[in-house]
Structure 1
Amino acid sequence: MVKTVTEATNQKSLSIDEMDAIDIVSLMLEEDRHIQEGIQKSLTAIAESVELIVDKWQHDARVFVVGAGTSGRIGVLDAVELGPTFSIDPDRWIAFVAGGKNAMWEPLEQHEDSASDIVQELQSCNFNENDVLIAISASGTTPYSLAALTYAKEKQASSISISCNHQTMSSELSDVAIELIVGPEVIRGSTRLKAGTAQKIAINMISTATMIKLGKVYQNEMVDMQLINHKLVKRAETMLMQLTTLNEEEAKALMNETNNDVKLSLIISKTGCTIQEANNYLIRANNHVKKAIQLYETNQRNSENK
């Protein structure tokens, strides 16, 4: 029988119910150091997940993230922030939590055993072989997540699992298995703690690295964010000034000219080309600003050498 780390007893916290507050939080901090160790050992699998999604995404794939309880809520939290941060269509990166939307606010953990629910959800979205499934489950044995992975295999879709135990059923069913071994929780079985934090880090890494590889970032700036309020418009203008030689008035004028398109504004300010030319370079570069600028520079050199 495979040893279940997430249900093991943490010997260091056996007297936690007798500790002062400072000793409790100090112990928790000490235990949290195992999170980085678990992530470190899983970096290769996390990177493989990114490459898999990027490849499928370029062929119009959608990403579905599923989980129950804390794991499901973590998946939803990450997914809903990708739209405003990177301007992706909400129908491209979709998260389901067992029990539905109410489970984000209410304790509906009983739905983690509802294997049929997630299959129906995926069917309603016409989940198919072109898509990618990410199943998050601390134990790696949650029926809700296992049903999703089984359905993905039946549909010949790509799948990734994130769990916190060794050699889990989730790992067996997935194309890429991420096993974040962070040790027993200070409260036995309370995977909202170290396991939950590790899962949050892993899904953040996967989604963020995917967006970077898809050209949603220039240097370390969010050049594809949705400018939906005054603060974000101001951030975009400041970004443009920091990355170019433009002053505030020039940055505002260029942003107005491009209809607040940060990518086009950057390319124009860096190259001096027209909006149409900037757009053409961006298309040829698969929406990567840096690659678009490099294409322009290459064309300029070739023209000069003729």
Structure 2
Amino acid sequence: MKADKNDWITEQVHPHTRKLDQMTAMEIVQVMSQEDHRIAVAVAAILPTIAAAIDNITEKIRGGGRLFYVGAGTSGRLGVLDASECPPTFGTDPALVQGLIAGGDHALRFPVEGAEDSPEAGKRDLIERSFQKDDFLVGIAASGKTPYVRGALEYGVMLGTTTAAITCNPGSPLGQLADYALEVETGPEILMGSTRLKAGTAQKLILNMLSTGTMIRLGKTYQNLMVDLSPSNAKLRRRAQRIVAMATGVTSAEAEQALNACEGETKTAIVMLLATCDVTTARHRLNQAEGRVREALSLN
């Protein structure tokens, strides 16, 4: 069967997997692995645009704005996942990075018929979150044409906010609408139209870069350590202790003692130990340095 020339790339039939139903398990995983290897290369082709988007998101957040992800189905779930990881990893307010999915939270686990077909719903969901011009909006849609995402992006454009579109069909309507077209050519899926596969992998890689790159630029790391994590459970408390010990060279017991003195504030504990100062002074230094540990350590 030849692909319709009008089909989006993500909806075309893969020429090498027409006998997918006759493959052994080993043959299936081999072809999946071969196709997955192409994704990192495809994402690498748009790194300059991703980096430019990160710089803009960083400036928006520094100016008091927020980051929003909007998507439907797999794309929406990936956006919600990335947003949900920011508070425990980087100690952010849950409102700073938000993920919206067509059909609401119920759609995270169950299909919501027709939810992605409403542009009005995309706009409405942003209005309900008090989305404004100073925020940054990322639309996520493998096809590059999902109505729910289009409605959200059109609303963002109307407000004059900055937008990005993560799609897997170069030249897509959403890519043309956005300020930053993060379009990765992932090609046909081994299972026709199942964009949770290569397209989803590409989207996840880009989302990782956007959120992680932004948080690094905002001073949420010291060296390559996540020094702004929220130690909200036993695992994260152990990680915070290890991070303080690694960053300062003290023993685990000394790191734990410093964290207790700082009420679990990893950054504060590091500055207190390396600058040999008290908790209040360490916090003051960090405030002066806008939360950047390296700059806080250089202050007199």
Give TM class, smaller chain.
Answer: over 0.9
Determine the C-alpha separation between the residues in 2 that align with 1:2 and 1:292: 56
Counterpart residue type for residue 261 of structure 1: E
Determine the C-alpha separation between the residues in 1 that align with 2:6 and 2:92: 40
Pairing 1:43–2:47 present: yes
Measured against aligned partners, the alpha-carbon deviations of 1:85-126 in whole angstroms (never above 9, x if no partner) come to 111111111111111111111122521101111211111222
8 Å CA contact retained: 1:264, 1:279: yes
Classify 1:183/1:109 alpha carbon distance in 2 versus 1 (closer, same or farther; 3 Å). farther
> Corresponding residue for 1:304?
none
Determine the C-alpha separation between the residues in 1 that align with 2:129 and 2:103: 17
Give the alignment of 1:19-34 within 5 angstroms. Answer: 19-34=23-38
Equivalent residue of 2:138, what SS? strand
Determine the C-alpha separation between the residues in 2 that align with 1:2 and 1:58: 43
Classify 1:276/1:38 alpha carbon distance in 2 versus 1 (closer, same or farther; 3 Å). same
Which segments of 5 or more consecutive residues in structure 2 lack a partner in the other structure?
none
Pairing 1:5–2:9 present: yes
Measured against aligned partners, the alpha-carbon deviations of 1:232-254 in whole angstroms (never above 9, x if no partner) come to 21221122222223223322221
Determine the C-alpha separation between the residues in 2 that align with 1:25 and 1:182: 18
> Corresponding residue for 1:194?
198
Give the TM-score normalised by structure 2. Answer: 0.95
1:248 to 248, 252, 260: 252
> Corresponding residue for 1:232?
236
> Corresponding residue for 1:144?
148
Pairing 1:88–2:96 present: no
How far residue 275 of structure 1 moved from its aligned partner, in angstroms, is 2.1
Determine the C-alpha separation between the residues in 2 that align with 1:81 and 1:283: 24
Determine the C-alpha separation between the residues in 1 that align with 2:296 and 2:88: 23
Give the alignment of 1:1-306 within 5 angstroms. Answer: 4-108=8-112, 110-294=114-298, 296=299, 299=300
Counting matched residue pairs gives: 296
How far residue 223 of structure 1 moved from its aligned partner, in angstroms, is 0.9
Equivalent residue of 2:144, what SS? coil
Counterpart residue type for residue 136 of structure 1: I
Equivalent residue of 2:182, what SS? strand
Equivalent residue of 1:140, what SS? coil
Determine the C-alpha separation between the residues in 2 that align with 1:49 and 1:173: 15
Measured against aligned partners, the alpha-carbon deviations of 1:6-46 in whole angstroms (never above 9, x if no partner) come to 11221011111111111011111111111112111111111
Equivalent residue of 1:160, what SS? strand
Equivalent residue of 1:89, what SS? coil
Equivalent residue of 2:207, what SS? helix
How far residue 216 of structure 1 moved from its aligned partner, in angstroms, is 1.0
Determine the C-alpha separation between the residues in 2 that align with 1:148 and 1:269: 47
Equivalent residue of 1:273, what SS? coil
Determine the C-alpha separation between the residues in 1 that align with 2:106 and 2:145: 23
Determine the C-alpha separation between the residues in 2 that align with 1:35 and 1:241: 37
Determine the C-alpha separation between the residues in 2 that align with 1:140 and 1:43: 19
